[in-house]
Chain A
Amino acid sequence: MSGHSYDAENYWKANLRLIFGSLIIWALVSYGFAILLRPMLAGIPIGGTDLGFWFAQQGSILVFMALIFFYAWRMNKIDEKFGVHEE
């Protein structure tokens, strides 16, 4: 396919936007909630400890899973919208 069309450029931008948004959440749950912001979340109790601990040992993994599936699903839609999907 021609790689320089207007559509191709928008397709790539849509992908980059989606990746950027997903990675913000990726960083927020792990580096944010689980590490840096843990003291701020210390007031939220969960099972004998605080929310930050839960994010560090459980929550971030669950969010990572959801993120990849969301990305795969959205990208397939975007592929189709721009007509670059595989037959």
Chain B
Amino acid sequence: MSQFAINLLFVGGSFLIYIGIAVWAKAGSTSDFYVAGGGVHPVTNGMAIGADWMSAASFISMAGLIAAGGYANSSFLMGWTGGYVLLAMLLAPYLRKFGKFTVPEFIGDRYYSPNARLIAVICLLVASLTYVIGQMAGAGVAFSRFLEVEATNGLIIAAVVVFIYAVLGGMKGITYTQVAQYCVLIIAYTIPAVFISLQLTGNPIPMFGMFSTHTESGLPLLEKLNQVVTDLGFREYTADVDNKLNMILFTLSLMIGTAGLPHVIIRFFTVPKVSDARWSGGWALVFIALLYLTAPAVASMARLNLMTTIYPEGTSAQPIEYEARPDWIRTWEETGLIRFEDKNNDGRIQLYDDSNAGFADTAAARGWNGNELSVNNDILVLANPEIANLPGWVIGLIAAGGLAAALSTAAGLLLAISSAVSHDLIKGRLNPNISDKGELLAARISMAVAIVVATWLGANPPGFAAQVVALAFGIAAASLFPALMMGIFSKRVNNFGASLGMLSGLLFTLIYIFVFKGWFFIPGTANFPDTAEYWVLGISPLSIGAVGALVNFAVAFSVSKVTAEPPIEIQELVESVRYPRGAGSAQDH
């Protein structure tokens, strides 16, 4: 069977499962559509959160980022998991007790202010739309690489599948497809990792293999990797960072942002009880950790594999000849994600760090004229099975896994977007008397429109699409998380405080990002170059969300202090979300 047929079989088979689930889990009411009827088991929900959370970025890009940055990019690992501690302790149980359908709804009720709710809706829409574009684009890329269709057509196929189960089943359909997608993506991620770990270290568990002995050299794997990369002028893989403030703030922004992302929070509304919301946080992290503990192992091993592919005789010997390059380099060259340029015309592939001034003499002495191979971070996971010479079905599995990761996150985001439109905007503002049936129809139409918009933006990505980390996490961290947390932990923060807090956190964060990345990400409009020497105190625009959150807290508390305290019924609402008794399932009032 050809590789194309195998890929088609895996991807097509997984899609049939998703559609089957959609037909089985049809939503009959708004409660089904928004919160899957509120009857999801915590372990099931944990698995669905895992798929909801782990996007194309986690599946495809993260290991590549860590492979390239080594220790310095550990922030992604800690940030994208540590947020669940905040979520499980500071937000999820109380928001579940509150028992409504959307995140802006809590903000609107708690701060007795339609305007606060509107600010929350806007933040939600910007964060989720930015996020969903990347997922759709990722699905398009996976399709074009593995099924040899044009990226736009691939995108449309993906959109149709999401359309079927998300419009039909709402949260109910999404929940159970996410469970299936989690299984597909975690199997696809771990199988190649296990084989690579076995090949390099003889240890079948990647997270342990990473810290054990590299069979070939007899050295610890990471020591061998450090040796190889420094021989070629790169930074030591495990090297410490100079700017710890920035690393701390970046990690913190990712953590707070994770906890404040609406598409993750609403998944906690689907469980029957407050205690289930706590447990599902733990289960979610278990399922997420299966991938996140493996990713750094994949990163270090793939980096070492890449280096030894290019320098099979060791770093002091000649690199391979271009004509003798392995097949996987050929395959990926076609996609443009690997590029070779023979700068010194010797027919060999020189891969080294040509930006390292301290290495220039060594490079010159060896007759090298610049780094000749550029490898896009995103291919490491996708090319892993080929790099390790694994059988064709593993490649088919990776294709299905990458699509599962992209589609499950896209569906969760689309639900957050469509429920904000139908529940917060249409029912909340435009037509409060709409019937349950009418609202369900509105929810379905909003979902359909959201899918069309996301697909179009995925095919024609605007400049901000590449700024998921800055924009989505920055906004969630600086505006939504503090408002939600203060709504639960303070009875004193009032409508003015919260609204001004959200706005100032949001503006502060956006302006800092725009100053370095261009106003509204329009190229050429940045006021300063986006490099460390221009950043205030060395804080990167990606790390500013945590400072924005501080601004939000500070403004909210100060403004609340000098204005009237919230009405007594609001203080009672805050009391009631703190105590689990009498939760009942999520509902509309």
Question: Is there contact, CB below 8 Å, between A86 and B275?
Answer: yes
Question: Is there contact, CB below 8 Å, between A30 and B579?
Answer: no
- Which has the most chain B C-beta neighbours within 10 Å: A35, A60, A79? A35
B344 interface residue (CB < 8 Å to A): no
Query: What count of chain A residues pass the 8 Å CB interface test?
Result: 47
The distance from the CB of B272 to the nearest CB of chain A, in whole angstroms, is 9
Contact with B along A65-87 (1 / 0, CB 8 A): 10111011001100100011111
A3-42 contacts to B (CB < 8 Å): 3-4, 8, 11-12, 15, 19, 22-23, 26, 30-31, 34-36, 38-39
The distance from the CB of B177 to the nearest CB of chain A, in whole angstroms, is 25
Q: Which residue of B lies closest to A54 (CB)?
A: B211
The total number of A-B Cβ pairs within 8 Å is 146
Majority SS at the chain A contact face: helix
Question: Is there contact, CB below 8 Å, between B220 and A47?
Answer: yes
The distance from the CB of B112 to the nearest CB of chain A, in whole angstroms, is 18
Question: Is there contact, CB below 8 Å, between A85 and B81?
Answer: no
The distance from the CB of A68 to the nearest CB of chain B, in whole angstroms, is 4
Question: Is there contact, CB below 8 Å, between B78 and A12?
Answer: no
Question: Is there contact, CB below 8 Å, between B71 and A53?
Answer: yes
Instruction: Tell me which of B90, B226, B582 contacts A19 (CB under 8 A).
Output: B90
Query: What count of chain B residues pass the 8 Å CB interface test?
Result: 53
> Residues of A contacting B222 with CB < 8 Å?
47-49, 53
Contact with A along B268-301 (1 / 0, CB 8 A): 0000011100110110011001001100100000
- Contacts known (A48-B220, A85-B580); A58 close to B279, Cβ less than 8 A: no
Contact with A along B77-97 (1 / 0, CB 8 A): 110011011001110010000
Question: Is there contact, CB below 8 Å, between B223 and A26?
Answer: no
Instruction: Tell me which of B85, B212, B285, B575 contacts A22 (CB under 8 A).
Output: B85
B69-127 contacts to A (CB < 8 Å): 71, 74, 77-78, 81-82, 84-85, 88-90, 93
> Residues of B contacting A58 with CB < 8 Å?
207, 293, 296
> Residues of B contacting A35 with CB < 8 Å?
244, 247-248, 251
Question: Is there contact, CB below 8 Å, between A61 and B78?
Answer: yes
Instruction: Tell me which of B82, B210, B221, B273 contacts A86 (CB under 8 A).
Output: B273
B572 interface residue (CB < 8 Å to A): yes
> Residues of A contacting B289 with CB < 8 Å?
61-62, 64-65
The distance from the CB of A25 to the nearest CB of chain B, in whole angstroms, is 9
Question: Is there contact, CB below 8 Å, between A56 and B77?
Answer: yes
> Residues of A contacting B81 with CB < 8 Å?
60-61, 64
B531 interface residue (CB < 8 Å to A): no
B240 interface residue (CB < 8 Å to A): yes
Instruction: Tell me which of A38, A52, A64, A72 contacts B279 (CB under 8 A).
Output: A72
> Residues of B contacting A44 with CB < 8 Å?
none
> Residues of A contacting B66 with CB < 8 Å?
57
Question: Is there contact, CB below 8 Å, between A72 and B281?
Answer: yes
Question: Is there contact, CB below 8 Å, between A86 and B85?
Answer: no
> Residues of B contacting A22 with CB < 8 Å?
85, 89
Instruction: Tell me which of B77, B207, B278 contacts A71 (CB under 8 A).
Output: B278
- Contacts known (A31-B248, A47-B210); A85 close to B90, Cβ less than 8 A: no
Q: How far is the CA of A39 from the CA of B286 in the complex (A)?
A: 29
Question: Is there contact, CB below 8 Å, between B84 and A64?
Answer: yes
Q: How far is the CA of A21 from the CA of B491 in the complex (A)?
A: 22
B576 interface residue (CB < 8 Å to A): yes
> Residues of B contacting A8 with CB < 8 Å?
575, 579
Question: Is there contact, CB below 8 Å, between B224 and A48?
Answer: yes
> Residues of B contacting A87 with CB < 8 Å?
581
- Contacts known (A36-B244, A71-B88); A85 close to B211, Cβ less than 8 A: no
The distance from the CB of A85 to the nearest CB of chain B, in whole angstroms, is 6
B16 interface residue (CB < 8 Å to A): no
B578 interface residue (CB < 8 Å to A): yes
> Residues of B contacting A69 with CB < 8 Å?
279, 282
B198 interface residue (CB < 8 Å to A): no
B507 interface residue (CB < 8 Å to A): no
Question: Is there contact, CB below 8 Å, between A86 and B582?
Answer: yes
Question: Is there contact, CB below 8 Å, between B579 and A3?
Answer: yes
> Residues of A contacting B532 with CB < 8 Å?
none
Instruction: Tell me which of A46, A48, A60, A75 contacts B78 (CB under 8 A).
Output: A60
Question: Which 9 pairs between the two chains have the least Cβ-Cβ distance?
Answer: A48-B220, A47-B211, A3-B575, A56-B74, A48-B223, A72-B278, A48-B222, A68-B282, A57-B296
List 18 A-B residue pairs with CB atoms under 8 Å apart, sorted by A's residue number. Answer: A3-B572, A3-B578, A31-B251, A35-B247, A36-B248, A47-B220, A47-B222, A48-B220, A48-B226, A53-B71, A57-B77, A61-B293, A68-B89, A69-B279, A72-B278, A72-B279, A84-B580, A86-B581
| Beyond A1-B576, A46-B211, A71-B278, 7 extra complex contacts between A and B, CB < 8 Å | A3-B579, A31-B251, A47-B210, A49-B220, A65-B282, A68-B285, A84-B579
A residues sitting closer than 8 Å to B (CB atoms) are 1, 3-4, 8, 11-12, 15, 19, 22-23, 26, 30-31, 34-36, 38-39, 46-50, 52-54, 56-58, 60-62, 64-65, 67-69, 71-72, 75-76, 79, 83-87
